[in-house]
Amino acid sequence: MMKLNGLIGCLAVAATLASIPSVSAKEPVAVGDKAPDFELPIQGEDAYATLSKLTEDGPVVVVVLRGYPGYQCAACQRQVSSLLNRRKALAAATGDKPHRVVLVYPGPETELDKYADQFIGAKRVPDTFLFVRDPDMKMVSEWGLRWKAPRETAYPSTYVIGPGQRVKWNKVSESHGGRATVEEILKGLKSS
């Protein structure tokens, strides 16, 4: 009888764990870690962005959006609009060099280009920003940011990456909200 109760208890725990939304198998890249390099297609161009190249001239802000989890994310739209509205402050904090803020749009490779175009719409992406795609979420998986729940892609995350691809500051949200604000990013850049 005791073995049966123990088995029932184990099965109950297993069922409970199975009902919890699964998280990335890897832990997210953290402050002090070397960020894994990436080579991601730049939206609207026949070119790729490589983290190792971008960090040669100073800090880079990497903003991981939810991309296309089956719809365009309104919280991502607001976050990108906020970043674009404060582009001058972000450019000043990153040395006014080109491509210092990288917006990563992850999702299944099929039609990701089309959805990325829909997401950016008529917004003008300034020279200090890059809008890239992460087809099949390879980058977010490697960075430990893959959100493996139904209708999810990646945890909304922001990183300040310094020399040697070292993470100087980050904020990873395990919900749709709780994203890094421009003020938080600027403080992260000052501390790098």
Q: Which two tokens stand for residue 149?
A: 């729940």
Which residue type sits at 183? E
Q: Quick: pLDDT tens for 70-86.
A: 999 999 999 999 999 99
What are the extents of the domains in the chain? 32-190
- In this predicted structure, what is the pLDDT of residue 192? 67
- In this predicted structure, what is the pLDDT of residue 94? 80
- In this predicted structure, what is the pLDDT of residue 25? 54
The fourth-level CATH superfamily of domain 32-190 is: Glutaredoxin (3.40.30.10)
The pTM score is 0.85
Which portions of the chain are predicted below pLDDT 70? Answer: 1-25, 96, 98, 192
Tokens 């909304």 — which residue? Answer: 156
Which residue type sits at 72? Q
